[in-house]
Amino acid sequence: MDQTFSAELFEWRGPAPFYWLVVPEDVCEYVRVEAGRATYGWGVVPVSVRIGMTEWETSLLPREGGYVLPLKKMVRHQERISEGQSVAVALQVASRGGRAANGTGSTM
């Protein structure tokens, strides 16, 4: 993993409630540099993430000039993370690996 950081878990009660971590500005700079080779468009950037012993792929979403990392229920339960808790994260921008924006097929 290329970057590590800690952030406080918060719930956003939008149309689809979810839990998020705000990516710190220094890590956002890394993401912006790497995003060109990986992004699906719309500002969404695919990443590989590790929290504790749990590793998975997801996408960062743009928010207020930076990025937020969604935290799946499965990860929260496996790692016993609750709202307001500070979470240590390892993160790496992930290549599309030949996938198109919808996650299937070729990017060509």
CB count within 10 Å of CB 23 equals 24
Specify the pLDDT at position 42: 73
5 forms beta bridges with 89
Q: Rounded mean pLDDT of the chain?
A: 85
The answer as to whether 105 is a domain residue is no
The model's confidence at residue 95, banded by pLDDT at 50, 70 and 90, is confident
pLDDT above 50: residue 101: no
Q: Mean pLDDT throughout 69-90? A: 95
Tell me, yes or no, whether 102 lies in a domain: no
Least confident residue range of 30-34, 54-58, 62-66, 99-103: 99-103
> How many Cβ atoms are within 10 Å of 50's Cβ, its own excluded?
16
Determine, yes or no, domain membership for 107: no
Asked if residue 35 belongs to a domain, the reply is yes
Q: Domain of 8? A: 3-93
The count of structural domains within the chain is 1
Would 48 be classed as within a structural domain?
A: yes
Which residue did the predictor score with more confidence, 107 or 41? 41
Residue 81 lies in a domain: yes
Q: Report whether pLDDT(30) > 50.
A: yes
Q: Where are the beta strands (DSSP E) in 1-108?
A: 3-8, 10-12, 18-22, 45-51, 54-63, 66-71, 86-93
Neighbour-count burial of 75, counting CB atoms closer than 10 A to its CB (0-12 exposed, 13-18 middle, 19+ buried): buried
Domain holding 30: CATH number? 2.40.30.100
Residue 106 lies in a domain: no
